[in-house]
Amino acid sequence: MNKYFAIGIICLAALFSLRASLIKDTQSRRLEILLLGHDSQHHNSEKFAEIISQEFFKNGINISYTTNVNDLNTENLSKYDGLMIYSNHEQITATQEKALLDYVKGGKGFIPVHCASFCFQNSAAYIDMVGGQFKTHKTGDFSATIVDAQHPVMEGITSFSTWDETYVHDKIAKDIHVLTERVEGDLHEPYTWVKNYGKGKVFYTAYGHDERSWKNPSFLKLLENGVLWAVNDEAKKEWEKISKPAPEYTDAKLPNYEKRPGGFKLQAALNPAESQLMTQVPVDFKLELFASEPDILKPIAMAWDERGRLWIVETVDYPNTVRDVKGEGHDRIKICEDTDGDGKADKFTIFADKLNIPTGIVFAKGGVIVAQAPDFIFLKDTDGDDKADIRETIISGWGTFDTHAGPSSLHYGFDNKIWGTVGYSGYNGTVGGKATKFGQGAFRFDSDGKNLEYLGGTSNNTWGLGFSENNDVFLSTANNTHSAFLGIPSTYLNKIGAPVNEAIDKIDGHYAMHVVTKNLRQVDVFNGFTAAAGHNLYTARNFPKAYWNRIAFVNEPTGRVVHQAILEPSGSGFKEKDGWNLVASADEWFGPVQTEVGPDGAVWVLDWYNFIIQHNPTPPGFENGKGNAYVNPLRDRVHGRIYKVVYKKAKPSSIKSLDKNDSKSLLNGLQSDNLFWRMTAQRLIVEKGDKTLAPDLYKMIGDAKVDELGINAPAIHALWTLYGLGMYATSEAFLVAVHALHHPSAGVRKAALQVLPNNSATLAAIHGAGLLKDRNLNTRLAAFLRIADLPLSPSLANELIAAQKDSINNGDRWIKEALKITISKHVKAINASKIPIAKPVVKAKADQVVIIKPIVNAMKFDKKNFTVKAGTTVELVFDNIDFMQHNLLILKKGSMDKVGAAADKMAQDPKGAAMQYVPKMPEVLFYTPLVNPEAKFKLRFKVPDVLGDYPYICSFPGHWRIMNGVMKVIK
């Protein structure tokens, strides 16, 4: 055993020696509580849910959060042991009311909290079940007066004081049993009570307006006791038997980016069974282990072959063991197989080894393409022994100076190209004999490595890419952009000179992620998405319909969660809504890095399993490594898990494997309800070049049926399969695609216009089908962009100009830009002589030029202060040589904390990035916008006349506390 792995085994033994003993009975279950909140900042139910989730989780209580009153239905409520309400919904329907009342009467727990006593004002039965209704309130500090200290709910509770709203109630039921009162003079207001309701039990407390009560230990204990009392005896007995892992904590040298008092301690590693006990999935689902150490180590990427076998990329060299000599790495590609059908891998085959920090894998050309900066390599087994005997470099030039900012998220696309993302390590190489350089964003290339194409820039390090079933492209990016949409590839924007970062829009609709651990460790974007990775949609049909082609999974390893990003159409583009989590863990080692729909329709999760997640900047007291990550011996090299999130009512997959030599098998795959099998069948047909399947593909395309979502997925893939086979040069295939321009499915119409050849006949067909006025704006956008590729047509000029004036088009974020691109191609330029030539504005020379740069990876300015004279004109050149966006704000004297706090709050606004994270307040005197990496901005301003120290900061989320300085104004 070499030295490298010997060290790893020693670390493993040490870590496991810390583990606390656990209860062995794991057959019971946690309590499941549904919390109904609302979309309002007053009585912030979302924050309330986060706090109680973190408080109750380790004690075996799951909190599932919803704001949808329609979730009050018999089927949904039956899944939960108790219903908690913290919201101000005014109305309840008769059906919802019956479901709720029957639920409690039937023996389940009901826990209305605070404002829940003013919910559903149209229901007298609801008010009676609660036991009273809020009437009025003032505010203030007051103490709880305990009325019945012997009641089980009051166990461990002594009188406590808190600031809260001083509720006065009305319509108080006669059958309530009061536990605490709020005493004010002669007033003895019932404040916490219980009651029976049919076979069920009700616990109510009026406490809980905001965090002053929510974080009060006595309030939390009271609420937890109330939950445990309200649920029925059977549920509580099951809960009492569950194992509750209690990992040990030890002192260790750990970064404290948040500057928390006392810092952090090192949690001991848990085995997979223990880790699962500290991990939550939705109530209808279960978490199943597929593989773990020692069979696998540090999985960073995965893909499945046509036989349904999982291939993973293992990297123990990551992040700092960067090899100068190829073939000396310790990383591997491993095939993981379940040969006996029990749902767990039992056969592990090393397909390729001696790799060094590979970060992505995709199947192509009978083998796999692996991202391993500085190269992309092609690996293939030619003799059937599952060992790679071909190893070829197909692309070179990927940056290696930061190992977590290289290429990743490789996917086979609808267009039969390989798609991927790259971070700020970027690409600097040769494409088609031409020097090419680009940074963070999305790219694609042919499966032989040729025609590498940059598609759009992002705001930061990028690790997420995913396709919808209609071929819409989404991304996730670190540092406060966990969901983004690729609206117009930069190849089109180049036609009008628009910058590459306008190709992709931030669409996330919320800031916070929702964790179930109190020990959150992050560098910046605190409590938000600072390390988002992956953006794969649910593109099968085994999960409930709410997931289909609508929910994307975004991993946040620093938060130990797999987030559910709900994607909804917004004009020609999309917007994202908060869907909370698919997976959330209180195990501080759980580190999801890739989540994707597998061949079985389940969602598979790669768990990096590492206590140390953060890469950089290098914190005080640590050194920087060769991979640009701070060196920490606690970075784990021996753990790793693969899980499946399985819907309990899922039907078995009808396809287990595809045979590339069996046409019937491939055609069956194209018609699967799982995108994985459709895309795999498409790839195999294209790679084989089997044009004999054309008649069958024509038939699929001609099928006018659509599913419940209005999609005909087989037709979409059939169109792109013919494209990959080069069939549209034939008249029959051309006519089939032209006919598909009229298909009832918007996705089919879009695919048809995208695959047709670049000729005048295509232009006429798209125009004739009326797609420039398509009722689906996403398809209309694709039509305008496609027109920009086609031969010049002066006859379109008037129609395009009219389209530009259309209020729908002009009001749409993406169509408006697409029209500019198309018009630049098809509308003749206005007589240049009629356009007035703007005279350049001559600016007076500045009295002083100040150049400020960020320190790379340090999140600091290179100048801690600079001096200027009062009343002079200064030109400040902000040269962003760092690898992420920064800005620079000059503030009024003594206002840094105030502006910083406003910037923190602004970070939680979905529109904050568009506002450059610059708070609109008089304390901000001068500012730059967010400046992209390798870009500069010149800020010219007149220095204030008042002498003194003026702070300057970067207001990007979380940066201002350490990225600041002082402008000294003197005479």
Q: What is the pLDDT of residues 734-744, one digit of tens each?
A: 999 999 999 99
Structure tokens at 830: 């206005």
Taking phi over 0 as left and psi of -120 to 50 as alpha, with beta for the rest, 598 belongs to: beta
Q: How do beta strands 453-457 and 935-942 pair?
A: unpaired
- Provide the percentage of residues in the chain whose pLDDT is more than 70: 96
Residues 6+ apart with CB under 8 A from 845: none
CB 955 within 8 A of CB 900: yes
- Residue 925: both structure tokens together: 């005197």
pLDDT of residue 402: 93
Q: Are 230 and 203 in contact (CB under 8 A)?
A: yes
Q: What is the pTM of this model?
A: 0.90
Across 211-229, average pLDDT? 97
Closest to 698 (Cα-Cα) out of 674, 724, 734, 662: 734
Chain center to CA of 267: 26
Task: Estimate to the nearest angstrom the gap between the alpha carbon of 523 and the chain centroid.
Answer: 17
pLDDT at 843: 66
Highest mean pLDDT (candidates 192-201, 524-533, 841-850, 895-904): 192-201
Task: Please state, rounded to an integer, the average pLDDT across all residues of the chain.
Answer: 93
pLDDT > 90? residue 907: no
d(CA 381, CA 575): 43
Reported confidence tier of residue 27, pLDDT bands at 50, 70, 90 = low
Cα–Cα distance measured from residue 172 to residue 188, given in angstroms and rounded to the nearest whole number:
13
CA dist 914 and 503 (Å) reads 15
pLDDT at position 140: 96
SS (H, E, C) 222-286: HHHHHHHHHCCHHHHHHHHHCCCCCCCEECCCCCCCCCCCCCCCEECCCCHHHHHHCEECCCCEE
Give the per-residue pLDDT at 798.
87
Q: Which two tokens stand for residue 936?
A: 């500069």
Q: What 3-state class would DSSP assign to 396?
A: strand
Q: Mean pLDDT, to the nearest integer, of 86-112? A: 97
Mean of the pLDDT values across residues 729-751? 97
**In sequence order, what are the beta bridge partners of 749?**
none
Q: Is the pLDDT of residue 498 over 70?
A: yes
Contacts of 397 (CB under 8 A, 6+ apart): 374, 427, 428, 429, 430, 436
Spatial separation of the C-alpha atoms in residues 231 and 202, rounded to whole Å: 9
Provide the pLDDT confidence category of residue 504 given band limits of 50, 70 and 90.
Answer: very high
Burial degree of 936 (CB within 10 A; 0-12, 13-18, 19+):
middle
Give me the mean pLDDT over the 721-737 stretch. Answer: 97
Beta strands (DSSP E) in 37-117 are 61-66, 82-85, 109-112
**Average pLDDT for 466-489:** 96
β pairing state of 82-85 and 31-36: parallel
Tell me: pLDDT of 838 over 60: no
Q: Is 441 strand, coil or helix?
A: strand
Distance, CA of 865 to CA of 844 (rounded, Å): 25
Q: What is the pLDDT of residue 620?
A: 84
pLDDT (tens digit, 9 = 90+) per residue, 539-560? 999 999 999 999 999 999 999 9
Average the pLDDT over 796-804 and give the result: 91
Nearest Cα to Cα of residue 638 among 333, 298, 350, 348: 298
**How far apart (Å, rounded) are the C-alpha atoms in residues 676 and 670?**
10
pLDDT digit string, tens, across residues 397-449: 999 999 999 999 999 999 999 999 999 999 999 999 999 999 999 999 999 99
**pLDDT at site 829:** 40
Check whether 25 has a pLDDT greater than 80.
no
Average pLDDT on 247-254 reads 93
Local confidence band at 16 (pLDDT 50, 70, 90 cut-offs)? very low
Query: Does the pLDDT value for residue 247 go beyond 80?
Result: yes
∠ Cα 341 344 349 (to 5°)? 100
- Number of other residues whose CB lies within 10 A of the CB of residue 342: 8
Report, as an integer, the average pLDDT of 495-506: 93
Asked if 36 and 83 touch (Cβ cutoff 8 Å), the reply is: yes
Contact residues for 177 (Cβ-Cβ < 8 A; gap 6+): 148, 151, 193, 194, 195
Q: Of the candidates 682, 602, 538, which has an alpha carbon nearest to the alpha carbon of residue 284?
A: 602
Residue 596 pLDDT exceeds 60: yes
Q: How far is CA 131 from CA 2, 213, 324, 905, 906, in A?
A: 69, 22, 72, 38, 40
Share of the chain above pLDDT 90, in %: 86
For residue 19, pLDDT over 50 is answered with no
pLDDT band per the 50, 70, 90 thresholds, residue 258? confident
Q: What is the pLDDT of residues 128-144, one digit of tens each?
A: 999 999 999 999 999 99
Which residues are CB-neighbours of 291 under 8 A, at least 6 positions away?
Answer: 336, 344, 345, 348, 641, 642
The enclosing H or E element of 688 equals: helix 675-688
pLDDT at 711: 98
What's the chain's Rg over C-alpha atoms?
A: 30
CA–CA–CA angle 133, 134, 136 (5° rounding): 145
Q: What mean pLDDT is predicted for residues 33-51?
A: 95
Q: Examine the pLDDT at 831 and tell me if it is beyond 70.
A: no
pLDDT in tens, 156-201: 999 999 999 999 999 999 999 999 999 999 999 999 999 999 999 9
Q: Which two tokens stand for residue 98?
A: 């019956």
- Which pLDDT band, with edges at 50, 70 and 90, does 1 fall under? very low
Q: Flag whether pLDDT at 22 surpasses 80.
A: no
pLDDT at 839 over 60: no
- The bridge status of strand 603-607 relative to strand 462-467 is unpaired
Q: Are 769 and 740 in contact (CB under 8 A)?
A: no
Which H or E element spans position 221? helix 217-230
Instruction: Tell me what pLDDT residue 525 has.
Output: 87
Residue type (1 letter), 306: E
d(CA 42, CA 137): 15
Identity at 53, one-letter amino acid code: S
pLDDT for the residue numbered 210: 96
Q: Residue 618: which pLDDT band, with cuts at 50, 70 and 90?
A: confident
